[in-house]
């Protein structure tokens, strides 16, 4: 009897953690109100897999083709998932809760370096803008990668209007090659800024933001 009750409690606990419901359960208090759940499992798993995929795509630089493109397609899939999750996901994953103006981002950063930064449970204003910038740069890179391969999902008429031909594989003359390289470099620059921002905010607010991206929890106050 006791064993059944214990099993039921365990199942309920797992469901609460992984179901990632549409409402605000991601920020529900955990253990005596000291910790709150901020990042749901899909955001966390997606983040670390994205890191592996981006690193793979940047290191392989086109060759071996299969590995490079598999990583690139993963990134494209992540972008589609994150756009959906930004609308239908739990509270802190939703765009409406972290989209901020560049002015708010600048003010947050200025306050942070002067030691009076406001702590945010979800993304800070520059953190939110970084998510958007990364999503745009990743779409552009993955999209131009596919276009280079002649696998653009564009209708033929639009493809002709833009003078994109189905050139087959690895064409050095593809008009998209330079955009692909430039946007990949942009991703790298954004990632460096992102890591710097995470370090700065972790120090400024005296909290381990990387650990929060692993276990999903942050201090309530």
Which positions lie near ligand HEM, rule CB under 6 A? Answer: 43, 47, 50-51, 54-55, 57-58, 61-62, 68-69, 72-73, 75, 82, 93, 123-124, 127, 131, 134, 138, 141-142, 145-146, 148-149, 170, 172, 177, 180-181, 184, 187, 191, 194-195, 198, 209-210, 213
**Closest CB 16 distance from ligand HEM, rounded Å:** 20
Q: Residue 8 or residue 169: which is nearer to ligand HEM going by CB?
A: 169
Hey, what are 143's tokens?
């999209």
Q: Distance between CA 181 and CA 57 in Å, rounded? A: 11
**Closest CB 150 distance from ligand HEM, rounded Å:** 10
Angle (CA) 173 174 176, round 5°: 135
**Closest CB 162 distance from ligand HEM, rounded Å:** 17
Q: For residue 152, give the DSSP letter.
A: -
Q: Residue 12 or residue 51: which is nearer to ligand HEM going by CB?
A: 51
Q: In DSSP terms, which residues pair with 217 in a beta bridge?
A: 37
Q: Residue 17 or residue 76: which is nearer to ligand HEM going by CB?
A: 76
Q: Residue 136 or residue 191: which is nearer to ligand HEM going by CB?
A: 191
**Closest CB 203 distance from ligand HEM, rounded Å:** 12
Q: Label the pairing between strands 35-37 and 217-219.
A: antiparallel
Q: Mark 79-91 as b/e (b = at least 16 C-beta within 10 Å).
A: beebeebbeebbb
Q: Residue 16 or residue 173: which is nearer to ligand HEM going by CB?
A: 173
Burial of 14 (0-12, 13-18, 19+ CB in 10 A): exposed
**Closest CB 9 distance from ligand HEM, rounded Å:** 30
What angle in degrees, to the nearest 10, is found between the helix axes of 102-113 and 125-148?
Answer: 120
Q: For residue 117, give the DSSP letter.
A: P
């Amino acid at each position: 009897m006791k064993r059944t009750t214990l099993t039921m409690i365990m199942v309920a606990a797992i469901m609460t953690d992984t179901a990632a419901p549409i409402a605000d359960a991601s920020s529900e208090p955990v253990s005596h109100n000291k910790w709150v759940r901020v990042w749901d499992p899909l955001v966390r798993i997606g983040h670390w897999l994205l890191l592996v995929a981006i690193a793979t795509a940047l290191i392989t630089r086109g060759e071996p083709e299969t590995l490079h493109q598999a990583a690139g397609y993963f990134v494209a899939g992540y972008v589609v998932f994150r756009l959906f999750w930004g609308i239908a996901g739990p509270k802190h994953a939703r765009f409406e809760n972290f989209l901020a103006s560049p002015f708010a981002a600048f003010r947050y950063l200025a306050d942070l370096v002067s030691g009076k930064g406001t702590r945010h449970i979800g993304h800070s204003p520059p953190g939110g803008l970084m998510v958007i910038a990364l999503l745009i740069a990743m779409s552009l890179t993955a999209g131009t990668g596919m276009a280079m391969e002649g696998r653009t999902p564009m209708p033929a008429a639009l493809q002709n209007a833009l003078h994109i031909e189905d050139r087959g594989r690895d064409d050095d003359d593809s008009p998209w090659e330079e955009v692909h390289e430039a946007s990949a470099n942009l991703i790298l620059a954004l990632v460096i800024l992102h890591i710097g921002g995470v370090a700065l905010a972790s120090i400024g607010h005296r909290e381990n933001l990387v650990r929060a991206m692993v276990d999903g929890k942050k201090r309530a106050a």
